[in-house]
Every structure is written in C-alpha cells, then in structure tokens.
Structure 1
C-alpha cells in the first residue's frame, strides 16, 4: 500500500508542471510562466496584494462587491461561456484574485475582451445596484446562520482591530453606503502593477504568452501596498460569549496564534491540523464525537496567511458540554505529541499529499499556487519544495510546532 502511494505521488508530481520563467515587467508586475503542453487549455491567474487588509469598518465589503460587479459588467463574461471558458474574481484576507481559463485554441477570440476588462473596467449601474442588494441579503443570511455568525464572532474576537477580523462581505451599515463612484475608484486603486503577480499555466505559444505580457504591461505601476501585521498576534487569553435564544446547539471556537505562510513551522502546523481535526480518523473526531458523543460537527482549520494566522478548533455541541470540550481540546492539543507514532504521522502525511497533488492538477490551481507562494515570499517554484518538505516532516518537527498550544488563546462561544 505504501509503495502504491509513493508511485502515485511520483507520477502526479512529475506531470504537475514544467517550471518556466519568471520576470518583472517595467510597471512592477511579476510574471510567471508554467508551460504544460500536454493540456489543451490555459489559465491566467493573478493576485493583487491587499484584500480585506485594505479595508476598514467603514468600507468593509467594498472589495467583494467590486470583484462581483467588475466581472459581471464585462463583455468577456458574455462571450466566454460560448467557448467553454470561465472568468471570475474574489477577495480574501490578503489578496484580490482573478482567474481566466479557456481552451487554448480560442485565445485570439477572447484575449481582446480580457484586455478590455483589465485595462478599462466598466461598472454597469444596474449590475452594481443588483449585486449591492444581493450582498446585503447575503449578510442578513449570514446573521441568521449560527455557523457564519459564530465564525465571524470568533474572528472579530481573536483579531480585535486587525483587518483579519473583518468579514469579506462587510456589514449592512458599510455596504449600504457604497456608491458607483466608490467601486470605480476601488478598481483604479487595486489594478496597479506594483501589487500584481500573474501566472500563466497550460498550453500556449510564445506569441500568446507575449500578448498576455503586453496586456499586463499596460497597467499603471502605482504604489506598492504593504501589509501591516502589527496586532495579528494573540497577546493574552480571552473568552467571549455571545447568546442566541433560538440556537439548537452551542458553537465553540478555540484559536491560537499560528505561523504565517513563510514561517519554517508552517508545513508542520498544516500536518498538526490534519492530525487533530482533519477528518473521521482525527483526534478530535475520535474523542469528542465517537467516544463522548458531543459533536455533530468537529474539526480544525489553519488558514494560510501573510501575517500571523490562527489554528482553529471548532465544534458544534450541547451547551452543557462546552466546558468539558474546552478542557478536552486543550488537553489533546498539548498532549497529542506524547503518543503520536511514526505510523500515524505517515498516514496523515500520505493523505495530505494525495489530496494536495490531486487538487493541484488543473492549470488554474498550478497558477494559483505559484502566485500564492510568490506573494508569501517563498518563490513561485516553492510548490514542489512544499511537497518535499511535507514528506520529510518528523515527529521532532511536529513537537516543536505544537508549542503554539502553550501560548495565549481565544475562546469564542455562541450559545
């Protein structure tokens, strides 16, 4: 079995990508090439440094609304489905990102529309009003969802005044103030070369590659956006409790300061996340759901971030079991390394490697990983190194990384 997994790993890694060149255009755009001639498609993915970290409570949700309206207002969206392609944009904590994927043979038909969308974004007033209302309805729905409400409450509690505590969709108060001029100005400010990393992955000719470069080279350079990481670390233990009389079960989140994506302990904490809360074989599942019968849902999350992230344990359970669950999770977090075996560690790593490698086989995912790791400061080619690092993680490295559980934490309870 182990031999079969290893063969699959080698096969997937060997066909994943041909590392191409990386250049910096005169306007500051970082341009990455990933040639994969055995495919019949190509993807252009770009990241803009600064997602919700650009926002404040006053304009929270502006990036999310722009991303939606910008794409929907474009002529490209009207044309691309006919050719079997797709285009989209979204905003996360650290980046705004956009993807453009097409069959390579239709490049000439579609690239003019992509160029127009990127260089001369037009915001349709009707689409703006429609999507603004949609976003407000989404916020209301989130307020009515215990899962969404509790997660937003936890993020606000654990990050306090840092922008990571903001929701990408914003608030009813902030979104209600947005005007067409706000969206247009946001587009001008964010589509600037100094903050953009673009990756082209798939099958393309040299001429097509140069055309994509020429499109991005026309963007204004602008000023580099610097992410302020101050305030992203938990300084002291904090417990926040929110109440909902209509709630059928309590929601519990426990969060610890976790490494940013460029930290040496980042891969090891990713593995710890799977050991403790990665599925039905995880420590949380076996004790809290299988043995104690507490949880309908239980797990762990560790988002990849430029600033300090969070290791998050989460569980839905009866209010009467919350205190014991807190004690149980803290004990497992601190003590799991004492009986972690090489066999269990190897099984978790193999599961992770298979999941990551299968997920990364599309052109768009290859381009996404290149952009992400470049912006994390590790270099666009780091993906292959990341896989190798995961394979070699030892019990000693897991023990070192688990020290995060001996530092201050945030507990959020919705009951």
Structure 2
C-alpha cells in the first residue's frame, strides 16, 4: 500500500491510500485550525462550527444530510482538537461520490440558520455542563490550563457558557472563511478508493474553497509550558489526580523517546506504574502515564484515580517510580514498547479509519506521510541511556503541573510535591 498525493490549484491537498481488499472507504477533511486558533471572544467557536456544519446547507436540511448518508449505510462524524478540526464519512466504495459531495456541501455551503444555531448552542451548553459534572473531564481540562497558563492551547475546547451563548451566525461564517482555506485543508481517503477518480471528485466539489492563504490569519503565539496547580474539593468516592511535566513537540528529537518512556512507565498492564502501584500495592484502581505532542510543545503526565484513604501513600510511590525510571531502564522494556508500537502500526493498516487519520496527522505535522519502516528506525535508535537521560530532564528539571479533583485533603501541595520529588532524584540525574 502506498500513499498518493495531489495538490490542487487552490492549494488544497488530496491524499489517498488504496486498500483494494476492502469494500468501504473512509474519507475526511482535516483543517489546520482548532481551539488554539481562537481569539478570546471566539473561545469555543471551532467546536460550535463543527456542530453547525451538519445543521443545513443551501441544498440540504439537517435531516436530509443525516438521511442521505444513512440511506446508503454510511455515517458522518467530526472532531475538534487544539490544533485541528476534522469532518469524515465512511461509506461503501460505490458511494464515494455521495460521501465527498456531502462533506463539501457542509463545509462550503452551510447556511448557519439562526434557529438551528440556538438549538445547537443549547446542546453544547448541556455538553459543557456534563463535562463539569464529570471529575475525570474536569481534571484533564484544568491540567492543561495549569500547564499552559493564560494561553489558548490550554483552554477547554468546548468554550464557556458565556462565550457559546454569545455567538452569532455571522461570527461562525467569518471564522470559517478566515481559517478554512486551501492551504490549511487536507482531504484524505483510505480503503477501496481510486486516487485519480477521487481527485476529480474533490476538484469538482471543493472548487469554492479559497485558493490562497488568508493574510488575516495571524500565527498563533508559541506555546510556553509554565506548570501550575489546580485543586478542587468535591464530595466524591474517589480522587482524580494528575501530575505533569514539560514534554516534547512532534518534531522535537525526543518526541518518540518520550512516547516510549510514557509506555514503559505507565502504558499498559506490564508497565511499571501499573505493576507497582495497582497490582503490588493496590493503591488505586487506575494509573497510567501519557505524552501529548503539539506542533511546538508537549506535555508528559501521570493520571491516577484512588480513594482518599490511599492518596497520602500514592504520590510518594509514583515519585519513586519516576526516580527509578530515570536511574535504570532495561533493554527488554524498550523491546516491549517497540513491539507494541509495531503491532499498533500494522493493526492500523487493517483499518481505513485509522489509516486516514494517521495519514492526515502526518501530512499536517510533517508535510508528508511517514512510512512505518521510518518510524521503526527511529524507535530502534532509542537506547536505555537516552531514555534515562530524558527522564532525568523531564521529571527533575521542569516545573511541576498538578491537577486534582475530589476528596483531596491528604494530597500534598505542589511545592511540597516538588520537594518530595527532588528528594528521590537519583544521583545520575542530579549529576547531569
């Protein structure tokens, strides 16, 4: 399987991967614009636009959009992140033209009807309320806010009740016209798709897309990891706790090493945190590590959920594991992480949805698809010494981020956590 790429006259890029053994196609439009691209008065508008795109066009009502795709057994969906927004459809191979026609219609001819807008704003207000009622959602949102204080990259994607209620149709249309230009859009398809035929469809349906970059779009400020603390007491059965450190951006040298480190530390049932904290000591019912990459920043974190009675003992044990991973990593642990990554890459090749998403992400980040063999070569270059050096820099040389929700009285304050973490710093990390 090989990714084919065509750039159209209006700057829009089309990428496909033919998976001839399949009967279906997943296609989507990825836009290099997300919540991070919003001004203060636009907070939440990228997500609202994602919703409103399905609420009627000049040719179709909201019901007709839903019925036409489901009449052929297909489905539509969309997602908003900090840096991108995506709209995608899955259909059988004979219905590719319908799928791309609907995607083009909702992105180039949406009417943003005021009555539909009021209904959808009400839906999103319910979504915001539900998120605020869900402790593990709150702890994640406040974690990124604390890590990137007073920056758009750290704001909740949904917006606030105040900003969402303030939006008008003309604001949504202005945001779309400003950011949804050919140079910022990518159309990807994977599955039983013919590249040349698909390109012709995209040329026909997306002809209204502006053919040049918009000078009104200012570059977003570079992200600055600050670290910080958020604590919220709630009368709950368990406490949600996150601790974090500055990570690495997608294109940074240590990005893949950070992913491997997170996997070794807390990426599965065989990981150090799961085995030590959950299996051996029974201090929590959930614990894992993660590394999030952005275009110019990263965030490394550990999340744990536990009862208040175990909270006082939990953090010191996690800190000890952070120190141990900065002191020694066995080759077998790296080999296990490589095997897991390789399996994930190969399994993704069996899913058109996974491949379309993977191709789009790589194209937006690197400007090209990245072959699996290249990814594995990068992983093969990672050594124990490189990982322990990285762990020492991540966990002991960057400000701490703490987010906690629930019965958190036994939890140390951030300054005390920093002292406790410094107290277990291994000698080798201190010397570097």
* 1:209-224 aligned within 5 A: 209-221=199-211, 222-223=213-214
- Cα distance in 2 for residues equivalent to 1:89 and 1:193: 19
Deviates more, 1:57-66 or 1:269-278: 57-66
Residues 1:300 and 2:312 are matched in the alignment:
no
Match of 1:309 in 2: 298
Deviations 1:270-301 (A, max 9, x none): 11111111122211112222233221211122
Alignment of 1:208 onto 2:191 = no
SS, match of residue 303 in structure 1 = strand
Provide the secondary structure at the position in 1 that maps to 2:54.
helix
CA deviations on 1:333-384 (whole Å, 9 max, x unpaired) are: 2321534222222123212322343134222322221121122126223455
Tell me the equivalent position of 1:8: none
Q: Which runs of 5+ in 2 are unaligned?
A: 409-432
Instruction: Indicate if the aligned counterparts of 2:238 and 2:306 stay in contact, CA closer than 8 A.
Output: yes
Cα distance in 1 between the residues matched to 2:220 and 2:243: 24
The question of whether the paired residues in 1 share the 8 Å contact of 2:26 and 2:353 is answered with yes
Native 8 Å contact 2:27 2:100 kept in 1: no
Q: Distance in 2 between matches of 1:69 and 1:329?
A: 43
d(CA) in 1 for partners of 2:380 and 2:365? Answer: 21
SS at match of 1:50: coil
Q: Which residue of 2 aligns with 1:6?
A: none
What are the equivalent positions in structure 2 for 1:272-291 lying under 5 Å apart? 272-291=261-280
User: Relative to structure 1, is the Cα distance of residues 185 and 312 closer, same or farther in structure 2, using a 3 angstrom cutoff?
Assistant: same
Matched residues in 2 for 1:184 and 1:228: separation?
A: 20
Distance 1:248 1:114 in 2: 44
Matching residue of 2:365: 376
- Of stretches 221-230 and 188-197 in structure 1, the one that deviates more from structure 2 is 221-230
Contact between 2:278 and 2:285, CA under 8 Å: does it hold in 1? yes
* Aligned-pair CA distance for 1:40: 2.4
2:105 to 107, 116, 124: 116
Match of 2:403 in 1: 412
Distance 2:101 2:274 in 1: 51
- Describe the SS at the equivalent of 2:285: strand
- Mapped to 1, the partners of 2:149 and 2:31 lie a distance apart of 25
Greater displacement, 277-286 / 396-405: 396-405
Q: What residue number does 1:7 align with? A: none
Question: Which residue is equivalent to 2:122?
Answer: 133
Name which of structure 1's ranges 36-45 and 224-233 shifts more when overlaid on structure 2.
224-233
Show CA shifts across 1:192-249 (max 9, x none).
Answer: 1121122232333433332223433431134275653534323xx64432222x1222
Name the CA distance, whole Å, in 1 between partners of 2:98 and 2:403.
Answer: 52
Name the Cα RMSD after superposition. Answer: 2.4
SS at match of 1:330: helix
CA distance in 1, matches of 2:361, 2:100: 24
Quote how far apart the aligned CAs of 1:320 are. Answer: 5.0
TM-score, scaled relative to structure 1? 0.87
Deviation at 1:109, TM superposition (A): 4.5
45-54 or 22-31, which deviates more: 22-31
What is the CA-CA distance between 1:56 and the residue it aligns to?
3.8
Residues in 1 aligned to 2:170 and 2:221: alpha-carbon distance in whole angstroms: 29
In structure 1, distance between residues paired with 2:258 and 2:37: 27
User: 1:182 deviation in Å?
Assistant: 2.4
Residues 157/111 of structure 1: CA separation in 2 closer, same or farther (3 Å cut): closer
- Say whether residues 1:386 and 2:375 are aligned partners: yes
Distance, in Å, in 1 between the alignment partners of 2:6 and 2:75 is 26
TM-score normalised to structure 2 length: 0.84
User: Is the Cα–Cα contact under 8 Å of residues 90 and 97 in structure 1 kept in the other structure?
Assistant: yes
